[in-house]
Amino acid sequence: MGSVVLVIVLAVVVAYIVSIIRRRRRGVVAERGFGVGADLGGLADAPRVWVRDVRLTGPDRAEVVFASEDGSEAGGDLRVLVWLRRDEFGYGLLTEWQRDSEPVAIVLPPGGHLIRLRSTASLQHLTLRRLDGD
């Protein structure tokens, strides 16, 4: 009799744990747009660009020009003004990507003011804030 009760209690506990995992599955599985795992999964969907030019246009702003996959200069959406200073990590990283002609995945959220970049070779990421976002 005692072993039957133990089996029933064990079955209830396992069912409860399974129900918790199913409810919180969104937190266990990486979703697009959250975390490194999601970024790596999204690289296949993101367009590839190359940093063609990085020019400082003021003390805390820069113009970044991206070239598209076919090698042509990008249109107005890929010639962007961003908040960036020469002594910041992002400036050095952009110039390194330009020098090495490293392909970069780019995400421009619609209506957003951020530009998310991730190198497809080194997986280094960079987020820039557009000047026209204010």
pTM above 0.85? no
Highest-pLDDT range among 8-17, 18-27, 109-118: 8-17
Give me Rg for the CA atoms of the chain: 23
pLDDT in tens, 32-44: 555 556 656 666 6
The pLDDT of residue 71: 55
Q: In this predicted structure, what is the pLDDT of residue 48?
A: 86
Read off the tokens for 64.
């970044």
Record the tokens describing residue 86, joined without a space.
């020469």
pLDDT, tens digit, 9 for 90 and up, residues 45-86: 778 899 999 999 998 999 999 988 665 544 444 888 999 999
The percent helix, strand, coil of the chain (3-state, each to 5) is 40, 30, 30
Q: Which residue has the tokens 């399974």?
A: 18
Strand intervals (E) in the chain: 48-58, 61-67, 79-83, 104-107, 114-119, 125-129
**Phi and psi torsions of 114, nearest 5°:** -110, 150
